[in-house]
Amino acid sequence: MQMDKDLQARQEARDLAAAAQAAQKTLSGMSQEALDRIVENIARKFHGAALELAELAVRETGFGNVEDKITKNQFASMRVWEAVKDMKAVGVLKDVPGEKLWEIGVPVGVIAAIVPSTNPTSTVCYKAMIALKAGNAIVFSPHPKALECTMKAAKLVAKAAQEAGAPQGSVACLSIPSLDGCRELMTAPQTRLILATGGPAMVRSAYSSGKPAIGVGAGNGPAYIHRSADVDHAVECILRSKTFDNGTVCASEQSIIVEKDMEMAVRKAAAAKGFYFMNTEEAGSLAKLLFRPNGTLNPQVVGKSATTLAEMAGFSVPSFVKVLVAREQEAGPTRPYSMEKLCPVLALFVMDSEDAVLAKAVEVLEHEGSGHTFAIHAKDEAVVRKFALKIPVSRFLVNTPAALGGIGATTQLFPALTLGCGAVGGSASSNNISPMDLINIRRVAWDAEAPKKEASPCDDSLVELLTMKILERLNKE
């Protein structure tokens, strides 16, 4: 019965949260060096299982492709390890002689982590590594469509952590995919922080749980190809990004914006690389497929290839087609191509001027995607600066594939699979979430006030003598 299942899920959440709290007490007493040994072992063992986990994830969810899921698993393991291995997250972080101030990194405690179906294995590795690096225990809540692969990833990570010295319970995963179990985990007394990566409803639930939460907003990033851009390179970047794991990375481009005098050059370069510009009838058929009547994205289209999407929508395209493009001019709830589409489908906006491009990009983001990601392709640094000062995002990417640049694979951003959108996007952080987002900082501060000089016994008589001499001089004058 469903009621029995929900009760079991709630009890499991309570048990795992309690075990995680006990484990975290041990973790909190470990040195940074000891925690690093745990994190490194997780990275190496997970990297070794990248292929197996990728195949399982694609088979179970039907999202994306094995090759790119392998890359995600490798990125979430060794690339993240390279970024955190020299990072100091616990113990004394700052002690500058003369400042009379110490800063000490303190773990937040037990973390509840929501795992999305689009990144069901790589997210487990990434979140476990940044949590344990900072001395925290972590309990995962898997998506029902990705239970088997998420559980396997979590068990692999837990075993690797214990082999390197982590106490049992440091890494755990709910085995019953239930909304009640997830809510029980988020509201458990032992839970101190929620890492919410998932759909809008789940993120809202995390923020309304009464616990501190780091959530992510929708990605709906436009890509502007400026007249100063290397058009072939720009189109190649967008192709690489939008086809990576069949468009399931939330930082990937959702639209291309160009000025009118650039349209034909962009269309020509894109068509040569496998972009297919749909006619009105084809775009209308696909639009009906992309979103359900309630306005939410149809899960049947997520992570599917361009040729599969066309077939599902009732038309055919050549086998070499990689991305489907629909002409669009407006943004809003009745304009499906102006929204986030977790598949290789793009909107094309053609504007009259650079200022009109800027206004349209802001309009698109304010409809959906504020605080997330924007990409620009330009050699003119003045236009980069102009747009960077106006576009409401946390990741402003220049001449790079947005999906890979946003997560830090092709840029100097921290390598992350949880991308904060800041206050404008309804998030508690605008960072690519790292171990430094999962600690509190204890500050030890000494009295910095200058000591007051005590008056000596002769001070009063000295002042009196000086006063008399000044008066005598004045009288003589």
Question: What pLDDT, in 10s, does the model give residues 23-52?
Answer: 999 999 999 999 999 999 999 999 999 999
What DSSP element (H or E) covers 72?
Answer: helix 66-74
Q: Based on C-alpha coordinates, what's the Rg of the chain?
A: 28
- Please tell me whether residues 85 and 178 are part of one structural domain: yes
Number of H helices, E strands in the chain: 17, 15
Q: Are residues 34 and 171 in the same domain?
A: yes
In 3-state terms the chain splits into helix, strand, coil percentages (rounded to 5) of: 45, 15, 35
Q: Which residues pair with 112 in a beta bridge?
A: 139, 194
Cβ neighbors of 282 (< 8 A, separation 6 or more) are: 310, 313, 315
pLDDT of residue 457: 55
Domain contains 103: yes
Beta bridge partners of 249: none
pLDDT of res. 201:
77
Give, for 186, the enclosing helix (H) or strand (E).
helix 179-187
Q: Same domain, yes or no, for 244 and 340? A: yes
Task: Let me know if 149 is a catalytic residue.
Answer: no
Q: Determine, yes or no, domain membership for 254.
A: yes
Nearest to 110 by CA among 140, 149, 85: 140
CATH code for the domain of 391: 3.40.309.10
Question: Residues with Cβ < 8 Å from 268, sequence gap 6 or more?
Answer: none
Q: Which helix (H) or strand (E) holds 24?
A: helix 2-27
CA atoms 295, 298, 299, 301: torsion sign: negative
Residue 167: give the domain boundaries: 2-216+432-441
| Shared-domain flag, residues 173 and 288 | no
Low-confidence ranges of the chain (pLDDT < 50): none
Indicate the pTM of the whole model: 0.91
Same domain, 205 and 249: no
24 and 134, same domain (yes or no): yes
Instruction: Examine the domain organization and report whether 203 and 114 are in the same domain.
Output: yes
Are the C-beta atoms of 322 and 310 separated by less than 8 Å? no
Dist. CA 367–CA 380, nearest whole Å: 28
Number of structural domains found in the chain:
2
* 148 and 42 together in one domain: yes
The answer to whether residue 352 sits within a structural domain is: yes
Residue 453 maps to a domain? no
Q: Would you give the distance in Å from CA 29 to the centre of its chain?
A: 29
pLDDT at 476: 64
* Assigned domain for 148 exists: yes
Asked whether residue 463 is domain-assigned, the answer is no
State whether 127 and 274 are in the same domain.
no
What's the rounded Cα separation, in Å, for the pair 369 and 373? 7
Residue 138 domain-assigned (yes or no): yes
- Residue bearing tokens 């110490």: 102
Identified catalytic residue from 250, 343, 421, 458:
250
* 56 and 199 co-located in one domain: yes
The CATH number for 203's domain is 3.40.605.10
Question: Residue 452: inside a domain, yes or no?
Answer: no
Does 232 lie in the same domain as 212? no
pLDDT digits (tens, 9 = 90+) for 117-166: 999 999 999 999 999 999 999 999 999 999 999 999 999 999 999 999 99
Provide the residue type at 51 as one letter: L
Does one domain contain both 21 and 158? yes
Tell me the torsion sign for CA atoms 263, 268, 272, 278.
positive
